[in-house]
Every structure is written in structure tokens, then in C-alpha cells.
């Protein structure tokens, strides 16, 4: 509060200088009602900036001041000076406090204004108008620490004018309801089908399909491959996430320990995500769950269903056509990797058909809302992968026995 007897040098100089100027040209005087209006709209911080004083101002609160003490200062200052320091709307009695924010989303910068009296929930609704991303699917990097609940008012947060923040979320029209279903693939049923080691990988038709896919495939490196690291190829749906829970919270979508698992493995392996979905769906998933921006690990590159092809094999003595993830595609593009230093994790063993000894089948993570309370698969798998990272040749390993290794794990 500025007292009536305030004789601080800054305040005195301000009055003196203003009075001196008034001898040449008297400023238009303020009426008492205007003094009251200014006093009730200015916060302590505004008073300090406007009157250029650090004294006698209680800045423990951002509430408007009473006009006591301003009566001496305000009449000695021209209206033009006041209007240059305060927004004209405030002088007209409009007490709304508005700040400008910019949301970075989906490669776009979206500037907008928001009232500080808004709640987090109202902010999310504003963002939904701009992006068509429903509030429940929005992930906002707006403040440090735990994100506030929807009822929290923006004025209570340490927001800055012209602040830019990251937003993640998928628009309603592009929400992934379930993984794409291929006509010759039963995504939900594996029936534990595992081809013989070399029963059909060398079949002429399968080799022809492999060569064709290699020639068409282009892999875009996201993070540089590191010399001396082994290669970890990871399936996404039902291996790392419950893709049918994408409308739920991230906690229910992600397999327990996901980020810790990737961080531990990253010390020993370059990491690749290979998903049996379209590029658009894959991009939305890895972005939503934060796989591309985590500080403790990096994804080298991702591959989608376009890099898979159909093969003809046998199941129960009958012809069976299905799609595969052929590691030879990666090995051809990056010769530093081979069966000696590559392992492929998937919940569908048929995806290993072209490279069966390089595959490790993991149990499917489904119904995440319930199973997350007991699922420990990634914790045990991390221990196994760290242990075998010391092996000189993965071809000498039998990954089918990894579960017995899991039983001996202390995790």
C-alpha cells in the first residue's frame, strides 16, 4: 500500500517532474471517480512499474489496491501517461486479465488469448476448439511438475505472457479405435504358430517377396545408430501398449514399466519400433505415449506395415498365408546388424517366420486397465536383455528359454 505520507525519492521526483511540466502545459486533471477506477484496477506490480517505486507497495497479493495514497500521485500525471502504462480497457472498468499463449501441436504453432480467470478445464475446451482434440486426449506441457486438475484457475499458476507450450493429442476424426486389420492376418489370435527354423524362409516366392520389399523400402533415421550397440526390434501393439485402450488414460495404455524398460535397454541396444499398422496410426501412437521425446532414450527409427509382406507357410499341415517382419530388410540397409547381434520382441510368433531364431515371444498386454496391476513382463524382459547383451553371438542363444531366466530374476 502507498501511504499518504509517502516521500520516497522516486515518488517525490515523479510528482516534482510532473508539476514542473505542468507549468508549461497542465495535464488534463482526473476526476475522483477516475482515481478510484485506476486504484481498483491496478495490481501492486502495476503500481510499482507505473510509479517507478519499490517502496510501500504490498506485493504479497495481486489483488487491486484501494485508492488511498494514489490521490496525491494520480492528479499530477497526465491522462496520456496513464493510458500508456495501463490498458485502456482497464480504465473503462474491464478488469479481465488476458494473456497470450502459443500451443505447439502436430507441427503447428497455434497462438491464442486466454483469460487468467479460466480454469484448466476451460483452457482444454479452448484448445479443443483450435485442434478438435478432446480434453481427455490432451497432454499439455504447460507447467513444471504434476499437471494441475481441471478445476485449478490459471491465475494461480506461474504462466507468462507469450508463453509457448507443447501439446500432444489426436483429433477426434483420427482417433485410433483399434489396430488395422489385414485380410490375411488374425491380429488377436496367434495360436502359438512358430515355423520351423528354415522350413520355408528360403522358398523362392518368399525370397522374391523379400527382395521386392527391400528394393521399395526406405528407412528414415531419426537418431543416429551407435557403433558397438546391438539391435532391439520391438513390436508396438500388445507388446508395449494396449492399443484397444487408446481412448483411456496413458497409464492404462502403456505396459507397466515401459519408459524404464526402454531407458535400460538403450544403454546396450539401438531401438527400433516395428508396428503392424499404417504410418499415420503408428505416428499418432508413438507421439501420444511420448516415445519420441523421452530424455532417457532415443528411438533410432520406426517401421510400419508397408515394410511387411505376405508369405506362404504351413500350419497344422495346411497352407497358411500371413504377413511377416523380415529382419533381413534392416540387415540389408544396415550391414552392421545381423542375426549375431539382433533380437526381435513380439507378441505374435508368426512375425518371426523369416528369422525364427532371432525372435522372442512376449505375452500380449491386453485389458490394460486391469492387467497393469499384475503385469511385470517388461521388468523381467529388461533383465534378460541386459544379461544377453554381453553375448558375442545371439545365434547361439535359445530365446525360448527366456521365461526360465525370468523365474530366476529378482525383479
Cell readout for 410 is 529378482
CATH number for the domain formed by residue range(s) 204-407? 3.40.50.1000
- The proportion of the chain whose per-residue pLDDT surpasses 70, expressed as a percent, equals 66
Whole-model pTM?
A: 0.55
More reliable by pLDDT, 42 or 266: 266
**Which of 141-145, 244-248, 389-393 holds the top average pLDDT?**
389-393
- Among candidate residues 140, 33, 6, 30, the one with its CA nearest the CA of residue 79: 30
What string of DSSP letters covers 4-31?
Answer: TT---HHHHHHHHHHHHHHHHSPPPPPP
The residue whose grid cell reads 523380415 is 326
Would you state the pLDDT for residue 249?
76
**Which of 60-69, 244-253, 309-318, 325-334 holds the top average pLDDT?**
325-334
Q: What is the mean pLDDT of residues 210-217?
A: 92
Number of H helices, E strands in the chain: 15, 11
Banded model confidence at residue 191, pLDDT cuts 50, 70, 90: very low
232, pLDDT greater than 80: yes
Would you state the pLDDT for residue 152?
92
Banded model confidence at residue 362, pLDDT cuts 50, 70, 90: very high
pLDDT one-digit tens code per residue, 110-121:
999 999 989 999
More reliable by pLDDT, 285 or 192: 285
Q: What is the mean pLDDT of residues 150-176?
A: 82
**Contact criterion met (CB below 8 Å) for 51 and 11:** yes
CATH number for the domain formed by residue range(s) 98-174? 3.10.20.90
Q: Where are the domains of the chain?
A: 9-91, 98-174, 204-407
Q: CB neighbours of 156 closer than 8 A, spacing ≥ 6?
A: none
182, pLDDT greater than 60: no
Would you state the pLDDT for residue 326?
95
- For 30-44, 277-291, 397-411, which range has the lowest pLDDT when averaged over its residues? 30-44
Q: What is the mean pLDDT of residues 150-162?
A: 91
pLDDT one-digit tens code per residue, 332-357:
999 999 999 999 999 998 899 899 99
195, pLDDT greater than 70: no
Amino acid at each position: 500500500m502507498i501511504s499518504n505520507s509517502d516521500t520516497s525519492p522516486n515518488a517525490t521526483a515523479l510528482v516534482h517532474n510532473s508539476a514542473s511540466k505542468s507549468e508549461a502545459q497542465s495535464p488534463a486533471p482526473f476526476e475522483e471517480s477516475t482515481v478510484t477506477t485506476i486504484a481498483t484496477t491496478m495490481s501492486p506490480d502495476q503500481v510499482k512499474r507505473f510509479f517507478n517505486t519499490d517502496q510501500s507497495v504490498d506485493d504479497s497479493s495481486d489483488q487491486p489496491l484501494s485508492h488511498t495514497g494514489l490521490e496525491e500521485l494520480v492528479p499530477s500525471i497526465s491522462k496520456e501517461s496513464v493510458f500508456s502504462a495501463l490498458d485502456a480497457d482497464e480504465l473503462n472498468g474491464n478488469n479481465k486479465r488476458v494473456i497470450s499463449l502459443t500451443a505447439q501441436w502436430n507441427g503447428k504453432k497455434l497462438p491464442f488469448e486466454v483469460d487468467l480467470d479460466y480454469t484448466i478445464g476451460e483452457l482444454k475446451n479452448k484448445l479443443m476448439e483450435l485442434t478438435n482434440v478432446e480434453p481427455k486426449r490432451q497432454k499439455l506441457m504447460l507447467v513444471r511438475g504434476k499437471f494441475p486438475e481441471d478445476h485449478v484457475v490459471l491465475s494461480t499458476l506461474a504462466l507468462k505472457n507469450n508463453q509457448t507450450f507443447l501439446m500432444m493429442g489426436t483429433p477426434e476424426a483420427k482417433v485410433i479405435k483399434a489396430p488395422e486389420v489385414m485380410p490375411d492376418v488374425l491380429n488377436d489370435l496367434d495360436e502359438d504358430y512358430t515355423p520351423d527354423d528354415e522350413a520355408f524362409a528360403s522358398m523362392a516366392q518368399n525370397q522374391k517377396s523379400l527382395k521386392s520389399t527391400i528394393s521399395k523400402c526406405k528407412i528414415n533415421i531419426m537418431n543416429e545408430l551407435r557403433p558397438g550397440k546391438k539391435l532391439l526390434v520391438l513390436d508396438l501393439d500388445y507388446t508395449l501398449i494396449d492399443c484397444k485402450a487408446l481412448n483411456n488414460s496413458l497409464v492404462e495404455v502403456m505396459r507397466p514399466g515401459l519408459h524404464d524398460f526402454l531407458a535400460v535397454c538403450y544403454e546396450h541396444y539401438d531401438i527400433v519400433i516395428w508396428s503392424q499398422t499404417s504410418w499415420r496410426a503408428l505416428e499418432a501412437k508413438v507421439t501420444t505415449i511420448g516415445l519420441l521425446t523421452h530424455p532417457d532414450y532415443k528411438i533410432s527409427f520406426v517401421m510400419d506395415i508397408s515394410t511387411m509382406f505376405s508369405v506362404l507357410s504351413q500350419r497344422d499341415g495346411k497352407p497358411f498365408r500371413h504377413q511377416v517382419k523380415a529382419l533381413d530388410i534392416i540387415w540389408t540397409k544396415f550391414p552392421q546388424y545381423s542375426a549375431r547381434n539382433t533380437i526381435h520382441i513380439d507378441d505374435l510368433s508368426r512375425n518371426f517366420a523369416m528369422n525364427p531364431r532371432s525372435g522372442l515371444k512376449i505375452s500380449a498386454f491386453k485389458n490394460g486397465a486391469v492387467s497393469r496391476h499384475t503385469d511385470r513382463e517388461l521388468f523381467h524382459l529388461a533383465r534378460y536383455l541386459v544379461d544377453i547383451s554381453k553375448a558375442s553371438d545371439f545365434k547361439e542363444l535359445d530365446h525360448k528359454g527366456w521365461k526360465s531366466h525370468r523365474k530366476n530374476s529378482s525383479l
